[in-house]
Each structure stands twice: as structure tokens, then as C-alpha cells.
Amino acid sequence: MRGRSVVWQTTLGVLVAAAFVGCQNRGNTTTPVPPADVPRELDKTTHPAYRVEPPDILLIEAVKGVPKPPHKVEPLDVLALQLADPLPNEPLTGQFSVDTDGTINLGPTYGGPVSVVGKTLAEAKAAVEQHLTTAAKLKDPKVNLTLAQTRAAQRVSGAHLVRPDGTISLGAYGSVSVVGLTLPEVKRAVEAQLAQTLIDPEVIIEVQGFNSKLIYVVLDGGGAGQTVQRLPCTGNETVLDAIAQVNGLSPVSSTDEIWVARPAPAGSPPQILPVNWNAVVGCGETTTNYQLLPGDRVYVASQRLVRIDTALSRIIAPFERVTGVVLLGTQAVRSFGNQGFNQGAGGFR
């Protein structure tokens, strides 16, 4: 029994030493000194030109979208109309939106709605003049009719999700690939697509949802798993901002083992930026409160004793279960033996 105790104590000693060595090696990943030009809280830098990727959301506003002739009037188009010789005190001028039923309403004085959908501007002009002649009883009316606004702008304007294939939909005007493009390049690509059916189209492009550029916060659970949360990178986040967005450190987090892992191209080692958390939050030091870039991982290690406790628990727990089963079996055998002995002794009486 004594020999087994010595072996057990030696095994525990080796496990504890291995745990401490493993923790020390793990902590050494934060020892490299970062370059002096790494952007920090009070010395930030601007990100490179934003390149669109799925699933970003682009906001497009059509400034100019006049269809190529011959344009046929469609619902939601806006027509500018002016009657040359209107009725006294009843001018007929202004902009008239084409209703979904394909008509424009000239008002009760001039006979109400007149159908213009599917007609060219010249045909729509003739239809309005004919309507004024028959419904409003005007003699030889002269109408000036132009296209004030086409529904093309309504089709294009709005939020557009960059789809998994890297394209955005422009509705009736097709799709255009925008993946990997900067905003000026997206503007040119969209205008080139619209130019197939519109005259000199012009659009404004903005990013409404920055969904493709992310940073990650990894909270180690002390051997019981890791929590990974991803946050959008909008260009101004620091380590302190990222930790604040995940509601701070966990109860098992170590304040001495925090670093930023900055990814590098394949074959190159990542850049490791150690964070002096206590100095950042307690002293307002900005030296290690780094500005985060897309793809950065903020890694928060767990406390060493927590990791050791979890590791030992996983190793010892099976032996405890086996020992418990053995003791239970031994007690059961002894109990049955005592009962048999008592019954035998009673028989002799």
C-alpha cells in the first residue's frame, strides 16, 4: 500500500508540474515586443479602402435614371403636364404620378383619370388631349407632356445585400458583381450595368451594414471550452472596446495573459501583441490598448489555477469513480457475509 501511495503522489506531482510548464509555455506567446508603429488608442490609423464582401449591405441612391427612348409610360412614373389654354381659374399644370392602374388623374374639372400606361410620351400626350376634348369639352387643347421622373430610380434606390456569390440585385436591371471592389469601383460597376437601359445613369453608393469585416474575442474557460464572439470592425475599436462589447472578462479570466493575435499570410507567423490589462484599465495606459484591425483575435486566457484544477479533476475523476464502485462492492460483500454469519449463528442457538 505504501508503494502505491508513493506512486500516486509522484503521478500527481508530475501532473501539477506539467500543468505549470504548459501554462508557462502558453503564457510565453504574449512575450514578443510589438513594433513601435502598431496603432494604439491615442495613435490610431485609418483602415485601407473598404472592399465590399458578402454579407455587406450597400445603400444605393439613384441620382439620375432616365430610360433610353422610346420610353413607354409605366406605373409609378411621374409625368410633368401643362395645359396651354386651361379653363378660367382652373390651371392644369404640375407633376402627375402614374397610378398602379396605369392612369393619371387630371381632377374632376378635366374629366378625372386618363390611361397612359404602355404608351410612349407622344402617345400619352395624344391620349391626354383626346381625353380633354371628349371629357372636358375643350376645343383643340394643347398639352406639353414630359417625363419628370421614372420609376427606374425607385427600382434601384434602397438597401442591397451583397449575396454569397458577390453580386447585388438591381431588380429589372439585372445583377452586378461587387465583391472585392472599393466603393468608387462599385459605383462605376453599377452605373455601367444601368447604362444598358438608362441614359447616363448616376448613383451614390454607401455602406449601410459593415458585416464582412470582423474581429473576434476569445475567452478561455479554463479547460472547460472557449467562448468565441465576433464583432463588426468599423475602424475605431481598441482592445478595451472589444472586451466591453462582450460584457467584460469572465470570472475565470486571467488579467495577466491577454494578447491580440493578428493573422498573417499563409506560411508567415502571426503577429502577437501582448496586452497589459491592469495598466490599460487601472492606469489609463494606452501603450497596449491596440487599435484592432479586421480579422484580429483578442485572446483572454484563463487563470492558471483554474486550468490546473480542471485538468486534475478530469484525471482524478475516473479513479474516484472506480474507487467508489470498488468500495461499494466491498461493503455489499461484507454486508451479505455478515448477514449469512448472523443467520448461521441463530441456527446453532
Q: Does 296 lie in the same domain as 226?
A: yes
- Same domain for 217 and 265, yes or no, is yes
Q: Within a domain: residue 316? A: no
Output the pLDDT for position 163: 95
Is residue 243 very low, low, confident or very high in pLDDT (cuts 50, 70, 90)?
A: very high
Same domain, 169 and 62: yes
pLDDT tens column, 183-215 = 999 999 999 999 988 888 899 999 998 899 999
Within-domain flag for 11: no
56-70: average pLDDT: 86
Same domain for 104 and 236, yes or no, is no
Do both 103 and 169 map to the same domain?
A: no
> What is the rounded average pLDDT for all residues in the chain?
83
Give 113-154 pLDDT, tens digit per residue: 999 999 999 999 999 999 999 988 898 899 999 888 777 666
Residue 308's pLDDT is what?
A: 79
pLDDT digits (tens, 9 = 90+) for 327-336: 776 776 677 6
pLDDT digits (tens, 9 = 90+) for 224-236: 889 999 999 988 8
Residue 12: inside a domain, yes or no?
Answer: no
pLDDT at 31: 47
What pLDDT shows up at residue 329? 67
What's 199's domain CATH number? 3.30.1950.10
Same domain, 37 and 85: no
pLDDT digits (tens, 9 = 90+) for 22-55: 434 444 444 456 667 889 999 998 888 999 999 9
Q: Are residues 62 and 193 in the same domain?
A: yes
Tell whether 315 is covered by a domain: no
Burial class (CB in 10 A: 0-12, 13-18, 19+), 344: exposed
Residues 142, 171 share a domain: no
Exposed/middle/buried for residue 201 (C-beta within 10 Å: 0-12, 13-18, 19+): buried
Give the whole-angstrom CA distance, residue 211 versus residue 161.
Answer: 10
pLDDT for res 23: 38
Mean pLDDT of 48-72: 88
Confidence class for position 80, pLDDT limits 50, 70, 90:
very high
Residue 203's SS3 state is strand
- Do residues 170 and 61 both lie within one domain? yes
3-state class (DSSP) for residue 9: helix
Q: What is the domain range of residue 235?
A: 18-47+213-305
In which band, very low, low, confident or very high, does the pLDDT at 21 lie, cut at 50, 70 and 90? very low
Asked if the structure places residue 319 within a domain, the reply is no
In a domain, 165, yes or no: yes
Would you state the cell numbers that stand for residue 135, as one nine-digit string?
Answer: 371629357
Q: What is the mean pLDDT of residues 45-68?
A: 89
Same domain, 165 and 279: no
pLDDT at 74 over 60: yes
DSSP characters over 67-116: EPSSPB--TT-EEEEEESS-BTTB--EEEEEPPTTSEEE--GGGTSEEE-
The pTM of this model reads 0.64
Domain membership of residue 125 (yes or no) is: yes
User: What average pLDDT does range 155-159 have in this prediction?
Assistant: 85
What CATH number does the domain containing 36 carry? Answer: 3.10.560.10
Same domain, 240 and 266: yes
Highest mean pLDDT among 32-36, 106-110, 163-167, 301-305: 163-167
242: nearest Cα among 196, 266, 273, 198: 273
Inside any domain, residue 5: no
Give 91 or 348, the one with higher predicted confidence: 91
Q: How confident is the model at residue 198, as a pLDDT?
A: 85
Distance CA 52, CA 168 (A): 11
Domain count, the chain: 3
Which region, left, alpha or beta, applies to residue 303 given φ > 0 means left and ψ of -120 to 50 means alpha? beta
Same domain flag for 178 and 62: yes
